[in-house]
A and B are shown apart, each in its own frame.
Chain A
């Protein structure tokens, strides 16, 4: 119950922020130079054609009217119509979100697992060579430009070694995968399509590796710091002195403590990885959300840009919220 009230309170705080995001995006995208209507008309279009097209997308209305229409639409889940394709933005987005989520969630999970394992190991071997190596390696990973890393992995993994498939598409077209959510791995599992599942995994390998290498460092640092704290604490020293088995020490003390600070950091990293995803998707031609949003920006497709920014911001704040809640649950010191 208390958790629910906490949640509600935080959600309410979200509203003004999101409203701010909506307003800023709405204005920003209309201030950008470039006319989206001109890109869909032929070269022999008359002013009348342009006016008609503008009317079709509601762009002939005064600004405040457009804004109200837009916000009103949002309440019913209508994100508007894409100027470029003429189809519902919501529908387009639905197809694109799956692949991106697939990438980000898998990468974040792998990174988290790696961070916890390596972080705790590093803390237990603090000050020694292994610890230093792990930390420096993580630092190097964090310094790598992810779009370049993707290219290098393609060069080595595909061009030179041939172990991984070409960076075109997310799954081998020959496997005839039917898309449900857009996340190919999930869809393959849902439709029990073995070859597609394997193919999706193969195609996921390199982009996920790229993202993981880029985001593991801060996660690792946090786990290590928390673990070090625990290792130095009196409770732990006492338990160790009493001869508790290693595994129990780990599970009982270290992991939970290490995980405590993780949600907030994971949220931060999640946000960071959304930006990275745009670049990684570009390199691997993932046809995900990032590429779609970028194309929308290039063509000044107002509804698309507004929708993508709103969704990103929404995700961002919701993830932070979830992180806060998880943190509150895990850490008994936090008052809800």
Chain B
């Protein structure tokens, strides 16, 4: 199965600079009501995004930034340090992707969340805290120019003022995203190596084996 590819993307960036945005906030557990990975965008940031959620008076919270006019259709999040910390729930990334988020720019990420992003075609860009702040300031200052352009091939992004920033990404992660690879398909090409390792492992460390 192939996955969603990522090569270049230009979209509205929404500043959410508080540090330690956890995956419970991104996708509250109470929004995970079915054994499914699709259609989860409605639950994204539910605790912040809605008032009176689940009642007859449910409505959008006008104070939450994604509900504000300037950020309608946002596809890039500018976040604080340790973005996506906490629970390993991949529902958080499925919800982001379903909502339309293609990239997240932050000084650092929760490790499991970061991998979940890569596996689902969402690009996690690590950028120095000061640069993330600068981008966020620009986005806030001029709502007419709140887009960021990302080029994954060159590992560069352009801020609203056109200034270019380079970012790092492991070659393996870059390739996964560029080619939309399914990692299981890729690894199955090494199944013979796995089988021969397994035989050796079982003889060398027999005590580990479950009969």
Do chains A and B interact in one complex? no
Q: Which residues of A contact B (CB under 8 A)?
A: none
Q: Which residues of B contact A (CB under 8 A)?
A: none
